[in-house]
Amino acid sequence: MGDEFYCILKLVSGEEILSLIMIDDNDGDTLIVLQNPVTMRSFRNHQGTFIKVKPWIELSNDDFFIIRLDKIITMTETTDKKIIKVYDDYISNLNDESIDMYTPAGKVKLSESMGYISSVEEARKKLEDIFKDIKES
């Protein structure tokens, strides 16, 4: 087996895949080993540009897939740090069991690091106490 590298593949089916790959030249029959292959789509709207990432084969629990060279139209190594970071972040989140798999896309739970400090009732009570202290002074 050869070295691993990030690669974008265009398959004869028309699919474009980003994956960490290895090339295995087994007795003249070249095989491509894909590790965690994904598809990426770029979207633009008034808020900016977004990338949607999803597994190439969505219902599989496998990390590795093998395809023959005759199923590939073209392939190119990618060194684009932004794309590789998006890919690596996605893969690391896949392996993080603490993330709820069924959270709708784009929804984020608030945390203290994002500015969430208390509920409305708790904040109202704190502000009333501050106002009473100022009024009594």
Q: What is the pTM of this model?
A: 0.63
Q: Are 116 and 108 in contact (CB under 8 A)?
A: no
Q: Tell me: the pLDDT tens digits for 13-62?
A: 999 999 999 998 877 788 899 999 999 888 888 888 888 899 999 888 88
**The pLDDT of residue 101:** 46
Structural domain boundaries in the chain: 5-101
Q: Tell me: the pLDDT tens digits for 69-118?
A: 889 999 999 998 988 998 988 888 876 654 444 455 566 666 666 666 67
Domain 5-101 has CATH 3.20.20.140: no
Q: Averaged over 64-71, what is the pLDDT?
A: 91
Residues with Cβ within 8 Å of 85's Cβ and at least 6 positions away in sequence, in order, are: none
